[in-house]
Structures are given as C-alpha cells and as structure tokens.
Amino acid sequence: MKNSNYEILAPAGDFDSLKAGIMAGCNAVYLGGSNFGARAKAVNFTNEDLKEAVKYAHLRKVKIYVTVNTLLDDSELYDALTFANYLYTIGVDGIIVQDVGFGILVRKFLSDFEVHASTQMAINNLYGAKTVEDWGFSRVVLARETELDEISLIKENTNIEIEGFVHGALCVCFSGECLMSSMIGGRSGNRGECAQPCRKSYDILSMDKSVISKDKYFLSPRDLNTLLTVNDYISRGVYSLKIEGRMKKPQYVYQVVSSYKKAIEETLDSEDILNTEQIFNRGFTKGLFNGDFGVEFSSYDRPDNRGKLIGEVVDKRGSIYTLKLEEPIFKGDGIELYSKEGSFGFKSSEDTEEKLYRVKLDRNIPVSSKVYRTYSKKLIENINESLNESGKYRKIKIKGFFIQGKKAKLIVESEGNKIEVLSKEVVEEAKRAPLSREKIVENISKLGDTVYSLENLNIICDENIFFPISSINSLRREAIEELNKVFTLVERASYSIKKSDLNINREYREKKAALNIEVNSVDMLRELDFNFVDRVYVPIDLLDEKTLNYLNKRQIKISVVFKKFQNSKELERDFKTVKDNLNIVDEVLINNLSQISIFKDINVDKVADIGLNIFNSQSVKYLLEMGFKRIILSPELNNAQIRKIAKNYGDVVEVLSHGLIPVMTLKYCPASVVKKCVDSSKCSTCSYEKGFYLRDKIGTDFLVERKNGVSEIFNSYPIVLLDKAKFLKKDGVLNFKLNVREDLKFTTMSYYNALNEEEFNSEILKESLVSKYENITYGHYNRGIING
C-alpha cells in the first residue's frame, strides 16, 4: 500500500542543489543563511538568495525551511531574531532551531512562524517531544538514535509533526552533545564548525593502556540508507523524511531524492539502489533504530566514500595489473584499488566492457585488492541530462479571445486562481494573410520552461483577423508572470522588534558561594565531608536499594543527575525512583529536554545540567521562568561570556569548574567492532565494562565508559579552574560544580579554600593537581568557540 502522508525533505547548500532536489521530486528543502547554521562550510544563501529560493520553491509547490540551528551568544540573539523576522516576511515556511532561548524568543515575537526543534536539541523520546510541543514548536526533528517504538508513542500522544533522518552521513554522537571537536581544537559542532574527529583513526587500549586494536576508524559510522524500510518509518508517524547532505553536490541530491520518491511510491528498482550506492557512500547502515550495531553500523576500515565494488586485482606482472571486473567501466570513471595496505585511485582512460582489464600503474598494489568505482561519469551525465529538463508542477487552463475591434484577452486558471490580461493592441481585420486559429493555439501553447502543463486550451476568435505573433507571445508571457505572482506573493508584515525587547535585567541576589560535588561511586559518596560541600550530585544509576537505604538512614539530601539519553520507559523508571524518594531528593539535574516535561508537575527543584547546552542569558531567563532553580552553563562558554551572563544571573548560574568532561555520548560502542557484537545485550558482562581508552594519532588518550547501553567518551585531560575560581566569583558566579573521580578530599578542600580564603594561593595546589592528572586544561575558559 502506497503512503501519501509524507514530505521528502532535501538538503541544499547552494541554488543548484535546491533546483536538483526540486527536479527530483522533493516536497521541501532545508538550507542555511550566511550565519547561524550548523553547516558553516556550505556555500549557503545570502538574504537575497533566500528570497529568490522561496519564490522558486513555492512556484513549484515546495516548502523552504531555514536552519538557525547553532548555539547563540548574547551578542548574537538580536541579529538572529532580526534574521528570523526577515525569513518570516519573505515567506519561509519554517525555522529550525537548536538554542533554547532563541527558539522561545521566536515563538514569543513571531508567534505564527513555524519553529522546528533541530536534531541538535537531542530529542529521542515522547517526553522530549512533549516539551517542545508545550513551547509551541510545530515539529520535532528526532535524534538519529530514536527507537521505532518511540516514534509510534510520539505520534499517538502528541500533535507535533515528526521529522526523521532517512539517508546520509551520521553523527556517531548524540547530536548536540558532541564537544570533542570543540575541546580538541576549538571548532564546535554546536557552532557549525565541527572538525570531525569521528572520521579519524584511533587505537583501542585497555584500562592498563595495553593495545587491543590499532588504527581503525572506530568512531566513523556508515552512511544511513533506509530505501528498503522507509515506508515503515512513515507508517509509524514520521511525516518529514530528511536527507542529509548540505555539503553534497547537486547530482547527489537529485539521485537520492529521486530514489526515495520511487521507494515511497513503490517503483524503486535495482538500478536505483545501485545508483544511490554509486553516487556516494561510506558503506551503508539501516541505522541503530533498525537494529544495526557494531560492524554493521561502523565504517571502521575507512571513513570516506568507497563508491561501488566492481571487481578485484587478480594478477600483477611488473607494473601491469589485471583487474577482474563485474561491470563495464567508461572513460572518465574514477577507479580505486583498495587493500588493507592502502589505496590508490586513477581515472579510466578508456571504455571497456571486458571482464579482464589491464592497466599500467606506478604503485605497489597487492593482488586480491578490491576494485571500486568511486565516480561514474555515465551516471553523472544521465543526472545532468535530467537536471536540464523543464519540470512541470502545476496544471493550467487557458481561454483566449481574439475578436476583431477589441483587445485580445487571455483568462488563465490554475488551482482555483484566475488571471485575466488584455493586449495593448486591438485585433484588426486582416488585409492580406489572416491569422489562423492553429497559429494562435501554437503560440499560446508554448509554455517552454515554465512550471505549467497545459490541461485545456479554448480559443475564441473571429475569422480574417490580424494580430502580431509577437503580441500573442507577449500576452502569454504576461499572463504567466501574473499567475506566478499569485503563487509566490508573500503577505506577511514584518514584526517590530527592538533590542530593548530582549530584556534580561534581573535583581542579582548576593549569597555565599556554593561548592557542589558530583560523585561517581557509592564509595565516594560515603567518603564525602559534607561540612565543606553545599550539594552532592549523584548519578541516577547509583541509586540502587542499598544506596537509598544508606541515604535514608543518614538523612542525607542529594541532587539526582539524570542522563542525556534514555527512551521513555527508562526515563519513567528513573522518574519513579525520584518520585518515591522525595524525602532525600532535593533537586534533579536535567540533561535532556524530555526531563522538563516529565517533572513539570512534581514539587522538586530543577537544575539545568550541561546536557541542555545553555549558552546565553535568554536561555537562563526562560528556564528560570519555567521554575528552574539553577542553570549549569555550557562548558563551551569563555570567561567573558560567563561574566556577561553572571552580571544578572550569577547567583543562579553554575560553572563546571573541575573534572573530565564528556565529549561524546553515543548509543553505539566503539569496542563492539573488536568484540563483533551484534547488539548491546552483553554489555553488562563485557570485559570492557570497566572502561577502555581511545588513543588518537598524536598519542592522546580518551577514556570511554559504557553503562546501560550508552557510551560516554571523556576529554583527555580534566578541566581544572582552581586558580580561576576567585575570578569567576569576583565576576558574580556563586555556584561551582566539581566532577570528582579521585582524590576527593584533596580536590574538595582545594576548591573550598580557593572560594573561601582571601589570601589563598591556588598555584601550589594547582601544581599538585597537575602532577596527579599528568596534564590539565582550562577548557574554553580563555578561548571559547565564537570565531570572528
């Protein structure tokens, strides 16, 4: 049974890709402006380009969504809101956002503008969808890891539109929660600047640093391909089918969009499948949500386009190689010979349909190396031919009147719209050769490269008349131009938004600086000296029956840290744990938007943790209005940005001042490639359960921990802001978070003294910490992630 309620959403990094997606049959296009988009390296669109893109798309019955899906600094919010206002006035159909404060600002000031929650908002369950629906968002772009049953739950229990990825490159990390590129080199994925450390090779080491596996692309996923399962996706409730690829070429966009249209319409054939593979792939996966895992998910042997496998090297004699081919190759095709020892590519200099193809190469390529076609000249030529055709998107009826002594008239109708145009000239009596009805029909029918197909033409004309052919053509063109205006006319008035409307002023409430410690084990919880700690943060996974009894017995109040990634059932289970133990739970630390809606009506203090990516004063303001008690700021902020926010909110914001920061949170496990795991069912008994390391090419090690089906990769060195604490306090910050893994008493006392002793010398203790941790980092305290 064919699906009818869907939208194919195509990517566009430039105008050619926009046209390609539309020619291939997409229903909507997403693209970025010059700023604020998560693909900063795409060509993107100027404001004038955007206006033309909207007209071009709307004329062809295609919607336009614009990405403003990065975290935004206080200094950028007004400009971003002004940009959103511009998008609204030119007729953009929706805006895609990541930043909490910005998204709510758009809903406040542009109340009838569609807001879509970007996948960067990390929504993967029913409760996350409910949160943004409560905010007035019209669509949620689900995380790529979202389980199929969750999609059904969202469809059944909300009225929000669902968008999901169906094809293209995957982030190995839960989108919005990746800080790895940011922490390593200052290029943040949350600002569209990701340097893709996931596409680099790593070694896997045990906890004692012995090498387990070397030089594999353990963090590089295959490309998503759901051509054979996309209709199940639709039937579960996914309306918008998103194709990744704003950095890809128009030919890629055309091929992939056309293949998915055929898949949905049940006309897909084997050639379409092969062409989709040929145009670009890193190997394909059906996705985590369809059950792929380990080697079925990971492109561990190489991180780039591998093209299509078409043969192997079967013989080598000197510099002459014999390739056994399964398919013909043509002059201009890109050919790559690939083996474990490396790869070598060249362009074919001739056509051949022979099974054995001999080529002279100045390389040492092993026999049995695989032969791939990475570029098909024939496929690209076929696509380019299709792109040069004129697409027809609207039916049109024309009625023409050519009556002697009157001006010629055309009445054009399309989709309930009627246009009437008159000629400048009067139809005259013919003195020589009269104008025939056939000639009028011929010229009126010339719709050429317009978007219209002629459904009906009725010409009423006198005999023996004269009317210039050029005037008939002008009349037709004028009618089409007027009809075009009907379909592209925007009647949205610009909203009046002043900088003063973004009021963030608030009364700062002076109080004692608070030291808050997150522990990572029950033993550390028992070791903690509460005389020097204001709050203790306990991960929800530690709250087993034994620990709860311990806390109850000693009447210890705790703050419970929730996870960045859970399905609804897991979240409901942990929610019940808190609800049943409110006598000892003072606060919940919220790391995912889903936790906002599930705790909405529970009388417990809420604290925003780093999983919410709070990056500006507006986000702080709105969370306080939602009832949050405290907000832990994004670790990607620098000291100047923190100071700006702290001016008004220093008493309620908190800075992560110490500890290993999680730089990736992923459902996939890098060690699954080594262990040949087919799913996560054996994680609890895995020999790597206590952790392992990833080592990069320069010898830097990243700790990996896997708990309850989720992996976290931590920064190579801990953040230590011990010597910065007094400056942060002076700037108004009154809450400091330490994530402590070892030397609990020493670390706690060091920060306690730094915050409470006027003459405290932090340098000595800082040197002690450096010696304990081998190395430390200030994170983004000095540099930040705002470029330019």
For the sheet with 342-347, list strands across it. 342-347, 334-339, 370-375, 308-317, 320-325, 356-360
Residue 160: the pLDDT is 98
CATH number of 308-387: 2.40.30.10
Q: Where in the chain is the domain with CATH 2.40.30.10?
A: 308-387
- Give the confidence band of 40 by pLDDT, cuts at 50, 70, 90: low
| pLDDT average, residue stretch 101-105 | 97
Q: Which CATH architecture has domain 7-170+221-289?
A: Alpha-Beta Barrel (3.20)
At residue 41, the pLDDT reads 60
pLDDT at residue 212 in the model = 96
As given in the structure block, the two tokens for residue 607 are: 């604290």
Lowest-pLDDT range of 227-231, 411-415, 659-663, 766-770:
766-770
Determine what percent of the chain is predicted with pLDDT higher than 70. 98
C-alpha 127 chain-centroid distance: 20
* Whether residue 38 has pLDDT greater than 70: no
The conformation of residue 561, written as its DSSP 8-state character, comes to: E
- With CA atoms as reference, report the closest residue to 109 among 497, 629, 635: 497
Q: Where in the chain is the domain with CATH 3.20.20.70?
A: 7-170+221-289, 510-659+719-773
Chain-wide mean pLDDT for the chain?
94
pLDDT of residue 229: 96
Tell me: pLDDT of 761 over 90.
Answer: no
**Cβ count within 10 A of residue 787:** 10
Both tokens assigned to 229: 């399962």
Residue range 183-204: average pLDDT?
95
pLDDT score of 1: 45
Q: What is the mean pLDDT of residues 574-595?
A: 97
Residue 16: which H helix or E strand, with range? helix 15-24
Which pLDDT score, from 0 to 100, does residue 569 have?
98
Spatial distance between the Cα atoms of 302 and 297, rounded to a whole number of angstroms: 13
DSSP for residue 331: T
Stretch 604-614: mean pLDDT, rounded?
Answer: 98
Residue type, 394: R
Least-confidence region, from 204-218, 360-374, 591-605, 760-774: 760-774
Give the pLDDT confidence score for residue 354 in this predicted structure.
87
- What confidence tens digit (pLDDT) does each residue in 480-524 have? 999 999 999 888 988 899 999 999 999 888 889 999 999 999 999
Give the per-residue pLDDT at 699. Answer: 95
Q: In this model, does residue 764 exceed pLDDT 90?
A: no
For residues 408 and 401, the answer to whether their CB atoms sit within 8 Å is: yes
Residue 42 confidence (pLDDT):
60
The pLDDT tens digits of the residues spanning 514-556 come to 999 999 999 999 999 999 999 999 999 999 999 999 999 999 9
pLDDT of 318-356, one tens digit each? 999 999 999 999 999 999 998 877 788 999 999 998 899
Mean pLDDT of 145-165: 98
Q: Which of the four CATH numbers 3.30.230.10, 2.60.40.10, 3.20.20.70, 2.60.120.1570 does domain 510-659+719-773 have?
A: 3.20.20.70
Enumerate the H helices of 652-782 as residue ranges.
672-675, 725-730, 744-756, 762-773
